[in-house]
Structure formats: C-alpha cells, structure tokens
C-alpha cells in the first residue's frame, strides 16, 4: 500500500465504531495497569494509541522508533493529544530514559517483526517475561574500584547494566528478570536481527566453561539470532573460547572487555 492509501485506510478505521471501541478499551486497560507507575497520564494514553496505528502506518511512522532514540510521527497521538501534547511526550521520551519503559505492549510489537520470524514461540514468550528497562548504574571511575563494583552488583542490576550498553548504541534493548529455559538474560533488536545476551555475574575464580557456551550456541542457532553475547565479570576457560570461535555468531566479553565498555562505548556489528 502507498502512504496515501495507508492513511486513508487508517482514517476509515478511526471513524469506525469498532476501532474507537477497541482503542478506548486499550486506553482504559492501560490507564488501569499504569495507574501506580510514575508515567504521566499523557504517556499512559499515548502508548496503546500509538500501537493501535502500527499495523497500518508501520513501526517508524507510528512512533515506536522514538523508544529507540529516533522520533517518528505518532499518528493517533495527534488525534488524542494534539501537536502540543505529542511534542511534550517526544521530549520526555528522548530526554528521560525513565519515561520509556519496555512494557509488554511494545515488546509484543517488536516480536512480530519480520527480522525475528525464526524465533520460536517459547523464545518470544521469554522475551515478554518480566521485562526490565536497561539501566546504566553509576560506577566508580577508577578501574580497580570499577572491577570490584561489578563483581559486587546484584545479578539483576548487572543484567540491566549490561543491557544499557546495547540501549546506548541505539537498539531496542531490555533485560528479563524471569528465569527461562534458554538461560537468556537480555535482548536487543539490531537492524539485521535479534541479539541475545547471557550475563554471568561470577566471582573472579568462577570461570565460564565450555558447557555454558555450547548450550548458548544451540540457543542462538535454533532461534535464528544474529548474535549471541556472553558477558561475564570473570573470564572464560580455554575450552569455552575454543567452542566460541567455531561460531561467528558468538561473542565473549570477559571482565577486561566489560571494563573497556565503560571506557569506550562498544559497537555491535
């Protein structure tokens, strides 16, 4: 469909009673679900309204791209809030990371993406389980203190901290607090496909071994992922490294590499 045809179809749906009822229901549910959150009411209304437009105008035009740093044009938000309202929302999203939680509705849109078509239903379910925003925690500037801090982090905080580097690189990224059968702790959506991340907040003496890498390689291949990152606060055994190099999709990041991430923003190719 051309852009003109899409907008005509969108307009006809907006004017239909069925669509109005559906959107109203989404808004009502969203406000109920988010009433205890810190999000402004305009954001609570905007999220389901924006997502209602996704199938017709596409993710970028519907504004989902704004959650990754690029600002789209949220069509239905203009209907609900007007240009002044949407301007304030976009400003909040871009300037305040706390104003863009990776809630289930956004992830539901992401997992339907063509790039993720090979991911199994079980993996997509894991992607939805207790999503947590990537969060860059304040760390000591001195290297030895940084290493000690990373080793002492709460494991869930470490996962969110790790995923913040993918988020800073411009990808949709989130951690998942819930344990899953895949041993996966975080996800990022690269333009070329899905990145799966496993975080190992191990003690220095607890090296990551070959079985962990072999299992993770299987997950990456079975899910058709673009890359798999294993990020650890310790190191990897020689056998683990040998296993990893047999696949061009596996990237190992030990404590030295993680410290470098803090000094120089990593790129994820």
In this prediction, residues 213-221 reach a mean pLDDT of: 94
Return the pLDDT at 32: 46
> Sorting pLDDT into bands at 50, 70 and 90, what band is 106?
low
**Per the structure block, which two tokens stand in for 15?**
């004017």
Reply yes or no on whether the pLDDT at 200 is more than 80.
yes
Question: What are 196's strand-pairing partners?
Answer: 187, 228
The residue with greater pLDDT, 241 or 71, is 241
Closest CA to 45 of 65, 57, 60, 29: 29
- The pLDDT assigned to 227 comes to 95
The pTM of the full predicted model, rounded to 2 decimals, is 0.62
Model confidence at 44: pLDDT above 60: no
Q: Is residue 42 very low, low, confident or very high in pLDDT (cuts 50, 70, 90)?
A: low
> By 3-state DSSP, what share of the chain in percent is helix, strand and coil, each rounded to 5?
55, 10, 35
Residue 209: other Cβ atoms inside 10 A: 14
Mean pLDDT of the chain: 73
- What domains are defined for the chain? 3-101 (no CATH), 118-263 (3.40.1350.10)
Structure tokens belonging to residue 1: 């469909």
Assess contact for 175 and 158: CB atoms under 8 A: no
> Do 247 and 220 contact (CB within 8 A), yes or no?
yes
Average pLDDT over residues 68-93: 41
Strands (E) across the chain are located at 131-132, 172-176, 186-190, 193-200, 227-232, 250-253
Q: How far apart are CA 195 and CA 143, in angstroms?
A: 28
Q: Could you give the percent of the chain with pLDDT greater than 90?
A: 41
Higher pLDDT, 176 or 34: 176
């Amino acid at each position: 469909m051309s852009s003109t045809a899409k907008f005509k179809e969108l307009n006809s749906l907006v004017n239909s009673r069925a669509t109005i009822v559906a959107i109203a229901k989404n808004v009502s549910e969203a406000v109920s679900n988010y009433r205890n959150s810190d999000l402004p009411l305009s954001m609570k209304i905007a999220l389901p309204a924006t997502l209602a437009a996704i199938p017709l105008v596409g993710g970028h035009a519907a504004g989902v791209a704004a959650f990754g740093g690029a600002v789209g044009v949220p069509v239905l938000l203009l209907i609900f809030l007007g240009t002044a309202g949407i301007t304030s929302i976009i400003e909040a999203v871009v300037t305040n990371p706390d104003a863009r939680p990776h809630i289930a509705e956004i992830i539901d849109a992401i997992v339907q993406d063509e790039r993720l078509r090979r991911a199994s239903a079980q993996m997509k379910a894991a992607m939805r389980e207790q999503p947590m925003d990537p969060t860059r925690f304040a760390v000591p500037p001195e290297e030895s203190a940084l290493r000690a801090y990373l080793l002492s982090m709460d494991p869930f905080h470490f996962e969110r901290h790790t995923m913040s580097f993918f988020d800073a690189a411009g990808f949709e990224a989130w951690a998942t607090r819930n344990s899953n059968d895949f041993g996966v702790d975080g996800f990022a959506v690269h333009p070329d496909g899905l990145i799966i991340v496993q975080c190992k907040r191990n003690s220095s003496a607890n090296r990551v071994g070959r079985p962990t890498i072999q299992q993770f390689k299987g997950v990456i291949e079975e899910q058709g992922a673009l890359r798999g990152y294993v990020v650890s606060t310790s190191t990897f055994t020689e056998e683990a490294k040998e296993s990893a190099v047999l696949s061009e999709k596996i990237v190992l990041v030990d404590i030295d590499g993680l410290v470098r991430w803090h000094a120089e923003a990593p790129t994820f190719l």
